[in-house]
Homo-oligomer: A and B are copies of this chain.
Amino acid sequence: MSVETTVTEYLRAWNVTDPAERAALLAKVAADDVRYVDPLADVTGREALSAVIGQVQAQFPGVPLTLHSGPDAHHDVVRFSWAMGPEGAEPVVIGTDSVLLAADGRFALVTGYLDRVPG
């Protein structure tokens, strides 16, 4: 899987509300022991990451998360920005993730930063 596809599938997982479907999708793009850290969360393991996604979906029901810029990849790292907001409207939240890839290309460490938050 190319890094572009991995990023696309990872972002797609953020929009999948069915836990089993989300787990299957995350298994393709994130290592078992993936660490995910952003200003509001710091979890290790794919199940914990899936739980974080579920919490964000509960907080912003039906609000899609989409690629905002990138991906910008080199060596075993990739950076991309994402936007969360109602379709066709100005994004409510924009963030940037810097990711370290495992040897198999799946996400090993996702470091997230917030570029725009509700004022």
Interface of chain A: mostly helix, strand, loop or mixed: strand
Known contacts A74-B39, A75-B37: does B100 contact A109 (CB below 8 Å)?
yes
A38 at the interface (CB under 8 A from B): yes
A109 neighbours in B (Cβ, 8 Å): 100
How many identical subunits does the complex contain?
Answer: 2
The digit string for A67-82, where 1 denotes a CB below 8 A from any CB of B, is 0000010111101000
A42 to B75, CA, bound (A): 8
Q: Is the CB of B39 within 8 A of A113?
A: no
A72 to B38, CA, bound (A): 11
Q: How far is the CB of A43 from chain B (nearest CB, A)?
A: 11
Q: Is the CB of A37 within 8 A of B111?
A: no
